[in-house]
Structure 1
Amino acid sequence: MSDKKNLKGGSSKLLYYRSRPTGNRTPKTKIAHGKQIPYYEEELERIYFKEEDVQKFSLDRHGQNIPYVDGHLTIINNYMFDYWSHFLSAEGIALFGHLLRYCYGTKDICWPNLELIALKMNKSRNTVKKYLGILEEYGFVYHFNVQNADKNNTDESPLFKVRKKVPFLSHELYEQMPLVLQVDHDRYISHLLETCEKEDLELDTSVNYNDLYNELIDKGRIQRKPQQLSLFEAEKQMQIKKQLLHQDVTDVDKQLWSAFIEEIKNKISKPSFDTWFKGTFAIKRDGLYTIYAPHQHVTEWLESRYYDLITDALHTVDTNFTGIRIESTS
């Protein structure tokens, strides 16, 4: 057997070729949805190359190559491409690379122009924001919105804290990978143990990044801008809220509440009914009745004066509920 190595490092004789269409097409048929569909199949020809020609061929010899400049390289551990990409996707890895390139040296903070990154990735800004969310979910990026206090709190581009060290997958994520990737990951860990001489090397414990972010948020200062609505805006919001609530009312909800209304009518006077129960409706979910009244004043009155009566009347028409809550649609 020859000791000469092929281009893949083995001893077998390999043939190197590319396929290209000849321009000829053969009419054929295929079955789709139970029907025969005619189509044309492109005829291909193979072009074989000598191994030495493949060896000598170089793309680097063509075009003006960028000279090496210290600081103009972004290094990403192959572990990101081999395993984390299954969860972050190609777009997530690319976005992480764009953010990481600004965190040179010991920096873990950057504030790039997202519009520019979206153009570089040939993605919409909304798509970039989607993958920012995925990166945050897995603990690779965390963003902070920024205001300039010296310029009347004008909003500026957001600031990003970027993970510089690549973590191992947690055991939970490892088990979510396809079997082929799990086997490849086992092989990688085994090789790493042999080369780095670290006996305690193992899959990372699962980290709940929502808890981690909430711990940070608890250290912050909450400031809410008081909402000032015009009467027109308030009325519009109220009508929208009513529409959304009524969409959630099922036929069963309507039947139960209709039976409840008939029961209430027999227990109180007509003026009292018209004042406090007219226009009410209810939604029952997971055993809990949420009763909606048209105004906050009515809500407070029902809670303080009619709560026991409501409970008794509901028990008459429905014995299977766990509680009552009264809210206003206004």
Structure 2
Amino acid sequence: MLDKNLKGNHHKLLYYRYRPTGVEEAKVRKVRDTEQAYRKKELEKIYIPEDEVKRFSLDKHGQPIPYVDGHMTVISNYIYDYWGHFFSAEGVALYGHLKRYCYGDKDYCWPDLNLISQKMNKSRNTIKKILLTLERHGFVLVFNVQNADKNNMEESPLFKVRKKVPFLPMDLYEQLPTELKLDHDRYMQGIVEQFDQILRLDPSIDYSEVYEEVINKGTVVRKIKTPLELDKELSNKIKVLENEISDRDRQVWDMALTSMQSKLSKPSYDTWLKNTFCIKRGSNYTVYSPSNFVSEWLQSRYDKMIREAISAIDSDFDQVDYDFLNYNSFNQRGE
């Protein structure tokens, strides 16, 4: 018989995290019957072995406060008094809800977030935002879960929860309001006197690096997009660019093309520059081409000429970037 998983049953569970790929996808949504184009960060799934999830512990990081009689309620008063300034009352409440499910030595749980959101009278999206705050400060790490025995059906997430409360790092202590900082000083002095030891607040821990260590032990699985999905993605990207390109962008590029056309043979111009356009974002221009090959060719062979052509019209820019897409329909609609 298979060993029990972290949720206490015999199903084969898959634990994973999402990580931004660095690529933004073009999306379109309807707002009051009007299509609205926007960009969304593309995420990739990283599956982490169950042994790594089990072995991972937030309590290895940061200096845990010692147990002091009278300083403990359901959770340490230190949470209410000092961490709560950074968590907000909702963050403290959510941490308490999660910790209550971590019985005995367990530092993980899988409660129903919908039920917790009802108990806290907060929307599920608000709960997710609070979770991000708890993750950022190293109190909770969320692992999404799929059931491999049920065709990879999504299950409730698994939460790894810090059980030993750490002292505030020095930089957060410095951010406390004056009155709260003085109160923290008195608290620390009481600890020093009771335990007869010197305590110093540690520097901050970058928990994104801590999480990256466990993520790097996983396996990246990227979704293979169907031709239909790729077509829709392209259509969405075109709509985003249509909303983004300005009359000034068109004017600058038309003038730049005229300048470059006089320096190139007709075959060269038609091959590399005829079906291009540009958009200025901040202090950078991006030149769009109909294929990756053309984009790479422009960057490697014509970058200097393109910069000079743009600079003659608009000298207020830092760099020129290159991107590509099949945008025949974009060109037709923009003309």
Matched, 1:327 2:323: yes
Matched, 1:281 2:266: no
Q: Encode CA deviations 1:102-128: one digit per residue, 9 max, x unaligned.
A: 112111011111111112212221111
Q: Encode CA deviations 1:236-268: one digit per residue, 9 max, x unaligned.
A: 322321332344445654443233122022223
Find the residue that maps to 2:241 and give its secondary structure.
helix
Equivalent of residue 268 in structure 1, options 238, 254, 264: 264
Task: Find the counterpart in structure 1 of residue 120 from structure 2.
Answer: 121
Task: Find the counterpart in structure 2 of residue 134 from structure 1.
Answer: 133
Distance 2:95 2:279 in 1: 45
Q: Is the 8 A contact 1:145 1:157 kept in 2?
A: yes
Percent identical residues: 52
Distance 1:249 1:186 in 2: 55
What amino acid maps onto 1:108 in structure 2?
Answer: D
Task: Find the counterpart in structure 2 of residue 223 from structure 1.
Answer: 221
Task: Find the counterpart in structure 1 of residue 37 from structure 2.
Answer: none
Find the residue that maps to 2:221 and give its secondary structure.
coil
Q: Which has the higher contact order (CA 8 A, sep 6+)?
A: 2
Q: Encode CA deviations 1:169-194: one digit per residue, 9 max, x unaligned.
A: 11111111111111111111111211
Matched, 1:202 2:216: no
Residue correspondence of structure 1 range 6-25 to structure 2 within 5 A: none
Distance 2:193 2:73 in 1: 27
Unaligned runs of 5+ in 1: 1-72
Relative to structure 1, the CA distance from residue 147 to residue 236 in structure 2 (aligned partners, 3 Å threshold; closer, same or farther) is: closer
Residue correspondence of structure 1 range 159-308 to structure 2 within 5 A: 159-199=158-198, 201-230=199-228, 233-249=229-245, 253-269=249-265, 272-285=268-281, 288-303=284-299, 306-307=302-303
Unaligned runs of 5+ in 2: 1-71, 327-335
Distance 1:301 1:198 in 2: 66
Q: TM-score scaled to structure 2, two decimals?
A: 0.68
Distance 1:115 1:319 in 2: 54
Task: Find the counterpart in structure 2 of residue 6 from structure 1.
Answer: none
Q: Is the 8 A contact 1:74 1:97 kept in 2?
A: no
Q: Encode CA deviations 1:18-72: one digit per residue, 9 max, x unaligned.
A: xxxxxxxxxxxxxxxxxxxxxxxxxxxxxxxxxxxxxxxxxxxxxxxxxxxxxxx
Relative to structure 1, the CA distance from residue 208 to residue 277 in structure 2 (aligned partners, 3 Å threshold; closer, same or farther) is: same
Relative to structure 1, the CA distance from residue 235 to residue 156 in structure 2 (aligned partners, 3 Å threshold; closer, same or farther) is: closer
What amino acid maps onto 1:208 in structure 2?
Answer: D
Deviation, 1:296, is 3.7
Q: Encode CA deviations 1:65-101: one digit per residue, 9 max, x unaligned.
A: xxxxxxxx98200000011111101111111011000
Find the residue that maps to 1:159 and give its secondary structure.
strand
- Structure having the higher Rg: 1
Q: Is the 8 A contact 1:109 1:160 kept in 2?
A: yes
Q: TM-score scaled to structure 1, two decimals?
A: 0.69
Q: Is the 8 A contact 1:276 1:298 kept in 2?
A: yes
Distance 1:299 1:255 in 2: 21
Q: Encode CA deviations 1:266-312: one digit per residue, 9 max, x unaligned.
A: 22355654553234222345654321123445435534654454345
Find the residue that maps to 2:225 and give its secondary structure.
coil
Task: Find the counterpart in structure 1 of residue 25 from structure 2.
Answer: none
Q: Encode CA deviations 1:204-238: one digit per residue, 9 max, x unaligned.
A: 321111111112211211111211131xx434322
Relative to structure 1, the CA distance from residue 90 to residue 319 in structure 2 (aligned partners, 3 Å threshold; closer, same or farther) is: closer
Distance 1:198 1:158 in 2: 40
Find the residue that maps to 1:203 and give its secondary structure.
coil
Q: Is the 8 A contact 1:288 1:321 kept in 2?
A: yes
Name the stretch that deviates more: 163-172 or 122-131: 122-131
Residue correspondence of structure 1 range 24-43 to structure 2 within 5 A: none
Find the residue that maps to 1:86 and give its secondary structure.
helix
Find the residue that maps to 1:166 and give its secondary structure.
coil
Distance 1:194 1:251 in 2: 70
* Aligned residue pairs, count: 255
